[in-house]
Structure 1
Amino acid sequence: MENSRVRSRIGVLSRHFTLLHEANFDLYTVLLRGVQLKHGDAEIEEAEAVVIGGMVLDVHATPSFPANPRTTTPGKVYYVLGGVARNVAECMSKLGKRPYMISAVGEDMAGNLLMEHWTSAGLSIKGIRKSKGIETAVVCNVFDVKGEVAAGVASMEAIEKFLTPDWIQQNKGSICSAPVLMVDANLNLSALEASCQLAVESRRLVWFEPVSVAKSRKITGVVQYVTFASPNEDELIAMANALSDENVFHPLEKDSRDNYSIVSLLHMLKPAIWVLLEKGIKIVVLTLGSDGVFLCTKGGPSFMRMPLVKTKQHGSLYQTVIQSCPSNLYSVASEANRSSHLFAVHFPSLPASVVRVTGAGDCLVGGTIASICAGLDIMQGVAVGIAAAKAAVEAETNVPFLFSLAAIADDARTVYSAAKVVFHQSML
C-alpha cells in the first residue's frame, strides 16, 4: 500500500519538470515524502512555481473627495497585504496552484500581519526570512477619487538588503525543482543573478517582473536568463534603453495617448519590444492598462501555442479554461518561423467597475503563471491573467478574497476570442 502511494505521488510530481520547447531535456525525477521532496540532503517543499521578491504591507489612503495640498482630507485608510511577488504568489494559490515564496520580513507589526495571513492560507513559510533585525517593507499610497495612485512612498530596504544570494542558495532545492521561477526587480542585482542562474542551470522558465521604471533597468544583469518579461509601456522604454546602452527610446506622450489605435501603438512600441527579444527574452508580455496586453515573440505562434511546461494537464483551472479557450485559435500550418520576424498578438482588456488598480498587474502575472503551471499555453494564460486582473481592480484588496473559476473562464473566453494578430512581419 505504501509503495502504491509513493508511485502515485511520483506520477503527480513528474508532470512539473520538463519544458516542451527543449525536446532534449531529460526528465528531472523526484520522490515525494508527504508534502516534501528530497533534494540531496535537504527536504524541500513541493511547489508548482517559486516566487522571489517583496512581501509588503501597503497603506492605502483614499480621500472622500479631491484632496487639497498641505492639509488633511477626510477619507479612508486601509492596511492591505501587498508586494509584487507576494501578490503574484497569492493570486496563484487562489487559482489552485501551489507557490513557494522566498522573501524577507521583520518581527514587527507589518511582518506579523503578512506572516499570519500566509500561514492561515496554508502556504509554506520555509523560504521567508524573518528576523528582529529586519524592518518589514511598507508602501504608503495616496489615491485619487478615481482609484489611481496620486502619490506614494516606498520603504523597500528589507528586500534589497536581506534577500541575499546566500539566502537564495539555501532555497536552491525548491528553485531547481519547480518548473517556473518568478523574480521581481525589488531584489538587488546579485540576488537576481543568483536566482536566475539556479533556475536556468536546471532548465526552468524564468519570469522577470520589472516592478517600476527605475528597477526595471536591472534587466541588464539577467536578460540572458529570462524567458518572460512583463513590463508596462514606461518600463519597456527604460529596459530597452538600458539594454541598448543609450537613450534612444522615449515614452509616448500622455496627452495624445488616447488618440492612438492599437495597431499604431504597436508600431510605435515595436522597436523597443524588438530590443528585448533580440537580447534573448523569449516572450514579452507588454501591459497596456485599459488597452489590454501585447504578447510578443520572435518567429511565429508555434512557441506560444504549446504548453511551456511538460505536465499532465490537470486541475480545475485547466479543465475549466480549456473548454472556454480551445488551443486551435491560431493555425500554425504555414507560419513563417523566422528569427527576423516579430509576432505580436493583442488581447483586449475587460470592462470593470474599478475600485483601485494597484493589484491588477500582479494578478495578471499570477493568473498567467498559474495557467502555465496547469498546462495551458501562454495565449490561454494571458487571457486568464486579464480575467484575474479584472477581478483585482474590482476588489478592495490587491488580490481578491476569492476567485470564481467559472467567472474567470467566462471572462477569459471573451478576451481570448477577441485576441488578434496585429503584427507578423520581418523587422529587418
Structure 2
Amino acid sequence: MTDREHEILKLVKQNPMISQQELADHLGIARSSVAVHISNLMKKGEIRGKGYVIGGEQYVVVIGGLTRDIGGKPFSNLIMEDSNPGTVKTTMGGVGRNIAHNMSLMGIETKMLTAIGDDNVGKTIKNHSPHEKLDFSDVLAVRGQETATYLYIADQNGDMVSAIADMRVFDFISPDYIESKKSLISNAKAVVLDANIPTETMLKLTEIYDGPIFVDPVSTEKGRKLKTFLKYIHTLKPNKMEAEMLSGVSIVDEKTLKEAADILLNAGVKRVFISLGRDGVYAASHNKTIKAPIMPVKLANVTGGGDCFMAGLVYSYLNDLTLEETVKFSLAASAMAVEGEQTINEDITVEKILARAGIQ
C-alpha cells in the first residue's frame, strides 16, 4: 500500500461510514483522487462493500529460519577433549521462528514459511504449533532432509565455547516455494524476513508482494546479501556490526551512528532501528531520529531480546504507533523477553508490554 492508502484506511477504520468527500476534506485532496485510492484498496482486499467494511483475515507472514537448538553445559569446569558430566537441553529456535512466536503472543495472526526436514522433529513441528495464532501449516517438509540444527557447548558459566550449525535445509526456501505461496503472501499485512533465506528468494518476494517488508540481518555474514535489497525494505533491525557492514561506516560516536543510519535510509529503507547492546537503540526514519537507553531488567537469558524487539516493531506498525511509541513498546517487549528463563517468555502480553512502556 502507498502512504496515502494507509492514511485513508486508517480513517476508514475509525469511521467505516465516512464519505469520500469527508475523506477528501480531511486529507486536503480532490474527491476524485479519493475515489481512485478507494478503488485500489478494494482491489487489494483491504476494504469491501457498503460502508467500506474491512476485508478478510488479517495476518503477517514470516519467512525465515526454524531450528532445533541443542545445548550442553558442564556441572563444573569444562575439560576440553573429554566427556563432561552436565546437562543437555533441546529447544526450538531460529530467528524467524522466534519472531513469529513472539508476534503470536502479541495477538498477531502469524503464518510461518520455512523449510524443515521430514524427520521426527520436522513432523512434530508441522503438527504442533506453540500458539493458536501461529500457523505452521504452510511450512515445507523436504523429503530426505534433516531439520536445521544448532548444536553448541557452553562452559560452566553458560558462555558458548563452540558450536556447529547445520542449516542446509534452508536452501529449499526457494523462489518456486515462495511462488507457490503467492496468494498467501500477497494478502499479508506485512512480511518479516530473516537473512537465512537465499538471495534469489528475497528478490522473488519483491515480484509478488508490494507491502511493508521487515528484515533482520541475523549476522554480518548472512546480512551481506541485503546490500542489494535495501531499497525494498520498510523496516531494518541491524545490530551495530551489521549496520557498519551494510553502510560501510565504522560507528564510533553519535556522528558516525547518524551517518550509518542516513546511508541506509538513502538506500531506500524507510525505518532503521540499530541495536547498540547495553547502549540501547538508535531509531531513524526520514523525518525523525531517537536514541533510547535499554530498560532496567532482571536478566534471566541473553538470547531472546532481539527477536522480541522485532516482533514489537511489527505490532507497532500494525497499530499505527509513532516512532517514539514504537521504540518504547519494542524496548519493553525486549526487556520482558530477557527476564524469562527461556528464549520465548510465554508470559508476554500486549497489556503488560504497554504498561512496562508507559504507553496509554
TM-score range, shorter chain: 0.7 to 0.9
Q: Report the residue type matching 1:391 in the other structure.
A: M
Q: Report the residue type matching 1:280 in the other structure.
A: G
Give the equivalent residue in structure 1 for 2:184.
174
**Equivalent residue pairs, number:** 321
The alpha carbon displacement at 1:47 in A equals 4.1
Check whether the contact 1:110–1:138 (CA below 8 A) recurs between aligned residues.
no
- 2:97 is aligned with 1:109: no
Q: Which runs of 5+ in 1 are unaligned?
A: 1-10, 33-38, 40-44, 242-248, 253-264, 302-343, 418-428
Q: Report the residue type matching 2:45 in the other structure.
A: T
- TM-score of the two chains, using structure 2 as the length reference: 0.80
- Cα offsets for 1:135-158 (capped at 9, x unmatched): 211112334566554433211111
Q: Specify which structure has the bigger relative contact order, considering alpha-carbon pairs within 8 angstroms and separated by 6 or more residues.
A: 1
Check whether the contact 1:55–1:114 (CA below 8 A) recurs between aligned residues.
no
Distance 1:111 1:396, change over 3 A: farther
Check whether the contact 2:108–2:133 (CA below 8 A) recurs between aligned residues.
no
- Helix, strand or coil for the counterpart of 1:402? coil
- 2:50 is aligned with 1:50: no
Give the equivalent residue in structure 2 for 1:296.
284
Check whether the contact 1:284–1:297 (CA below 8 A) recurs between aligned residues.
yes
Check whether the contact 2:247–2:264 (CA below 8 A) recurs between aligned residues.
yes
Structure 1 residue runs of 4+, over 6 Å off?
A: none
The alpha carbon displacement at 1:193 in A equals 0.9
- 2:227 is aligned with 1:220: yes
Correspondent of 2:356 among 385, 388, 411: 411
**Matches of residues 225-374 of structure 1 in structure 2 within 5 Å?**
225-241=232-248, 249-250=249-250, 265-298=253-286, 300-301=287-288, 344-374=289-319
Give the superposed CA RMSD. 2.9
Check whether the contact 1:236–1:272 (CA below 8 A) recurs between aligned residues.
yes
Distance 1:236 1:72, change over 3 A: farther
Q: Report the residue type matching 2:255 in the other structure.
A: H
Check whether the contact 2:100–2:134 (CA below 8 A) recurs between aligned residues.
no
The alpha carbon displacement at 1:48 in A equals 2.2
- Cα offsets for 1:331-384 (capped at 9, x unmatched): xxxxxxxxxxxxx20122122222321221111101221222233334323322
Q: Report the residue type matching 1:196 in the other structure.
A: T
- TM-score of the two chains, using structure 1 as the length reference: 0.68
Check whether the contact 2:116–2:142 (CA below 8 A) recurs between aligned residues.
yes
Give the equivalent residue in structure 2 for 1:381.
326
- 2:86 is aligned with 1:141: no
Q: State which drifts further: 360-369 or 348-357.
A: 348-357
- Cα offsets for 1:197-239 (capped at 9, x unmatched): 3222xxx111111001101111123112111110001111111
Q: Which runs of 5+ in 2 are unaligned?
A: 1-8, 14-26, 28-33, 49-54
- Helix, strand or coil for the counterpart of 1:77? strand
Check whether the contact 1:148–1:357 (CA below 8 A) recurs between aligned residues.
no
d(CA) in 1 for partners of 2:356 and 2:319? 18
Check whether the contact 1:60–1:77 (CA below 8 A) recurs between aligned residues.
yes
Distance 1:293 1:120, change over 3 A: closer
Distance 1:103 1:278, change over 3 A: same
The alpha carbon displacement at 1:131 in A equals 2.8
d(CA) in 2 for partners of 1:142 and 1:393? 21
Q: Identity of paired residues, percent?
A: 28
Distance 1:400 1:251, change over 3 A: same
d(CA) in 1 for partners of 2:339 and 2:161? 19
Distance 1:182 1:101, change over 3 A: same
d(CA) in 1 for partners of 2:250 and 2:201? 29
d(CA) in 1 for partners of 2:234 and 2:258? 18
Check whether the contact 1:224–1:280 (CA below 8 A) recurs between aligned residues.
yes
Give the equivalent residue in structure 2 for 1:163.
173
The alpha carbon displacement at 1:84 in A equals 0.7
Distance 1:129 1:178, change over 3 A: same
d(CA) in 2 for partners of 1:364 and 1:146? 26
